[in-house]
């Protein structure tokens, strides 16, 4: 028969498991959100540095847009 | 006068059962995973006769201790099926249903206590193997419990299963865990040596 120490140890480990599961899910949600925001900002930064859109290659000069093929 | 000197013989059936069942389970696992002879020492050693030798080893184990062998084998089958990704098996049942059927058979043959203890012990062995193979599985893209849950949660589950198994039957549990690791590492070492010599 399990004694009080066994129940205590098992309770601690089960709590730790559920705590880690919850933390992992929350962390993943927040990480995904921050990743989405960060990605947008990173793309804009790189576009400004190279002077063209990093996705489609379009650049704007003197009020005119030029695609990468021109 | 000499009775005490031979009392260790009482443990011989259990030792034989655990060792031979362990090798049979490892052999079956390698064949089911379709390991190549380069990756599996047992497959390269036994080749096409591996299935027959696996049965022979299982029979020896069952002859030594039927209840223990049955519960260990059923637990290995159950845990293996539960964690596998098959939708439908040749029996027409899903893998999780076959797991439950294996557990029911183990309970009928060995009793619910031994069946449950065997499952907890085999889960401990499986989690330990998954943690040890984590890097290799990540590199090869294999799925495992450690890769699905993450290392931290796997360690907590390992501690939980290991604690329950060892509190229930400390020496037998410890023996099974040690033998399983000896079989795993021993075969891996033999395989590496054989590949190096080739």
Over the stretch B64-120, which tens digit does the pLDDT of each residue have?
999 999 999 999 998 888 776 666 677 777 888 888 888 999 999 889 999 999 999
d(CA B122, CA B52): 24
- Min Cα separation B109/chain A (Å): 23
Facing residue for A17 by CB, picked from B157, B164, B167: B157
- Residue B22 has what pLDDT? 92
Q: How confident is the model at residue B1 (pLDDT cuts 50, 70, 90)?
A: low
Q: How confident is the model at residue B36 (pLDDT cuts 50, 70, 90)?
A: low
Question: Max alpha carbon distance in chain A (Å)?
Answer: 83
Q: How confident is the model at residue B4 (pLDDT cuts 50, 70, 90)?
A: low
For residues B103 and B119, is the Cβ–Cβ distance under 8 A? Answer: yes
d(CA A51, CA A60): 8
- Min Cα separation B111/chain A (Å): 17
d(CA B74, CA B89): 17
Element (H or E) spanning A66, and its range? strand A64-66
For residues B65 and B14, is the Cβ–Cβ distance under 8 A? Answer: yes
For residues B144 and B134, is the Cβ–Cβ distance under 8 A? Answer: yes
Mean pLDDT of B115-138: 90
Q: How confident is the model at residue A44 (pLDDT cuts 50, 70, 90)?
A: confident
Classify burial at B41, counting beta carbons within 10 Å of its beta carbon; exposed 0-12, middle 13-18, buried 19 or more.
buried
User: In this structure, what are the phi and psi dihedrals at residue B159, rounded to the nearest 5 degrees?
Assistant: -60, -40
Number of CB atoms found within 10 A of residue B35's CB: 16
Q: How large is the ipTM?
A: 0.77
Is pLDDT above 80 for B44? Answer: no
Compare all CA atoms of chain B with the CA of A15 and give the residue at the minimum distance: B156
Is pLDDT above 60 for A70? Answer: no
Who wins on pLDDT, B168 or A70?
A: B168
Over the stretch A12-27, which tens digit does the pLDDT of each residue have?
999 999 999 999 999 9
d(CA B40, CA B48): 13
- Residue A56 has what pLDDT? 83
Sign of CA dihedral B135, B141, B145, B150: positive
Q: Three-state SS for B114?
A: helix
Element (H or E) spanning A65, and its range? strand A64-66
d(CA B6, CA A11): 43
Compare all CA atoms of chain A with the CA of B154 and give the residue at the minimum distance: A17
């Amino acid at each position: 028969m399990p004694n009080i120490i066994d129940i205590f140890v098992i309770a601690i480990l089960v709590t730790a498991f559920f705590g880690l599961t919850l933390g992992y899910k929350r962390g993943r949600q927040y990480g995904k959100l921050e990743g989405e925001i960060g990605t947008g900002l990173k793309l804009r930064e790189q576009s400004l540095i190279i002077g063209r859109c990093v996705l489609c290659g379009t650049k704007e000069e003197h009020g005119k847009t030029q695609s990468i093929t021109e | 006068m000499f009775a005490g000197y031979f009392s260790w013989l009482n443990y011989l059936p259990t030792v034989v059962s655990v060792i031979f069942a362990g090798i049979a389970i490892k052999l079956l696992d390698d064949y089911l995973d379709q390991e190549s002879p380069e990756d599996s020492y047992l497959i390269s050693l036994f080749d096409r006769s591996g299935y027959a030798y696996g049965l022979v080893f299982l029979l020896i184990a069952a002859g030594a201790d039927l209840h223990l062998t049955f519960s260990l084998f059923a637990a290995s089958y159950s845990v293996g099926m539960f964690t596998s990704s098959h939708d439908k098996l040749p029996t027409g049942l899903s893998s999780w249903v076959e797991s439950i059927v294996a557990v029911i058979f183990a309970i009928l043959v060995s009793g619910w206590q031994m069946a449950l203890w065997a499952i907890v012990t085999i889960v401990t062995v499986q989690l330990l193997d998954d943690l040890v193979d984590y890097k290799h599985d990540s590199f090869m893209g294999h799925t495992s419990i450690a890769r699905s849950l993450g290392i931290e949660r796997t360690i907590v589950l390992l501690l939980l299963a290991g604690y329950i198994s060892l509190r229930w039957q400390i020496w037998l549990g410890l023996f099974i865990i040690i033998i399983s690791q000896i079989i795993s590492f021993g075969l891996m070492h033999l395989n590496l040596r054989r590949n190096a010599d080739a």
